[in-house]
Amino acid sequence: MAVPSVMILPLLIVFCAGVYYVYNEAMRFMSKSMVQNKVVVITDAVSGMGSECARLFHEGGARLVLCGPSWDKLESLHDSLCNGSDPSATFTPKLVLLDFSDMENISEMITEIEESYGCVDVLICNSSMKVKAPVQNLSLDMDKTIMDVNYFGPITLAKGVLPLMITRRAGQFVLVNSIQGKLSLPFRTSYAASKHAVQAFFDCLRAEVEEFGISVSTISHTFINAVPQNTTPSKTPPTNPLWAYISSKLTTHGVNSNTLAHEIVRTVNWHRREVLLSHPIPWVALYIRSLVPSFFFAVVAAGVKDGVMAEQLQ
């Protein structure tokens, strides 16, 4: 029986989505074995995304170095990873205090890692400080603090680890960045500036270290949802995993920690140079910003004016 022509496009979309879903599941299954025995350093490991990322690498058999500003939170993360894990298949994570607002101890931290493991296979720069305010309300001290955490901290750590990688002619840097390193929005002047700066640094670094067999990956994502978004509570979520996957792509406007952590693992395994993790609107905005910048600026400015007017009417 012939398929009606009006059904061809929907069936093709469903088929492509199914292939993509199966591919992602296969890659997720294969990724666990590919990080085994690698020394992986994760900054801000106590954050939601950092802890989820640490869990995946720990399950995959990586030798983790977990960095964070709070020793209590690091110990709690250490206990949650080790409890119930198989000691014969996993390594006990190493904990290191690291606060990018105080960078004097970074050299000591790198020395400690070198003495413990002798190398760093993967450095995941995950730390970030966010602020949203009109530019006239931000002090210069706040601007400097944001640049320290989002820019000077990651690049200082990367420069410290780089000689270890060059010596072995192997290694990988992974920058977990924001989409605002590519697309600037109002009321985020300092944050967007810091994200643009760190994106440019690692883009330059990628070209400089390629001859040494070192790879650089950047992951630009939209805002992180504290709670994974599913279908609304009044609706029954799809029981079919394929339809659940398609529904999540259509209804989610941010990314959750689990999705981002799995993307980081895939990026490490396949040495992807650049990843953009977002729903379609930021993708479209990036193309408009590049192809029709005057239209993009007009739309953004109109949004600011509408917001100010709405506040005055309240």
Residue 271 confidence (pLDDT) = 92
- Rounded distance, CA 189 to CA 138, Å? 9
The average pLDDT across 31-39 equals 77
Residue 18 confidence (pLDDT) = 79
pLDDT at 307 over 70: no
In the residue annotation, 21 being an active-site residue is answered as no
The pLDDT tens digits for 53-96 are 999 999 999 999 999 999 999 999 999 999 978 888 889 999 99
Catalytic annotation, pick one of 21, 117, 191, 287: 191
The average pLDDT across 187-205 equals 95
Residue 272 confidence (pLDDT) = 93
Which of the four pLDDT bands, split at 50, 70 and 90, describes residue 14? confident
Which of the four pLDDT bands, split at 50, 70 and 90, describes residue 313? very low
Q: What is the DSSP letter of 235?
A: S
Most confident of 12-16, 193-197, 252-256, 274-278: 193-197
Which of the four pLDDT bands, split at 50, 70 and 90, describes residue 30? low
pLDDT at 196 over 80: yes
In DSSP terms, 174 is beta-bridged to 124, 217
Which of the four pLDDT bands, split at 50, 70 and 90, describes residue 26? low
Query: What is the share, in percent, of the chain residues with pLDDT greater than 70?
Result: 82
Higher-pLDDT residue of 252 and 104 is: 104
Residue 314 confidence (pLDDT) = 39
pLDDT at 11 over 80: no
| Closest by Cα among 171, 60, 174 to 121 | 171
H helix runs in the chain, sequence order: 8-34, 48-59, 71-82, 106-117, 140-147, 153-168, 189-209, 241-251, 257-270, 280-291, 293-313
Residue 242 confidence (pLDDT) = 52
Contacts of 224 (CB under 8 A, 6+ apart): 48, 49, 254, 255, 256, 257, 260
The average pLDDT across 15-24 equals 72
Residue 312 confidence (pLDDT) = 40
The pLDDT tens digits for 126-172 are 988 988 899 999 999 999 999 999 999 999 999 999 999 999 999 99
| 8 A C-beta contact, residue 274 and residue 217 | yes
End-to-end Cα separation, the chain, in angstroms:
61
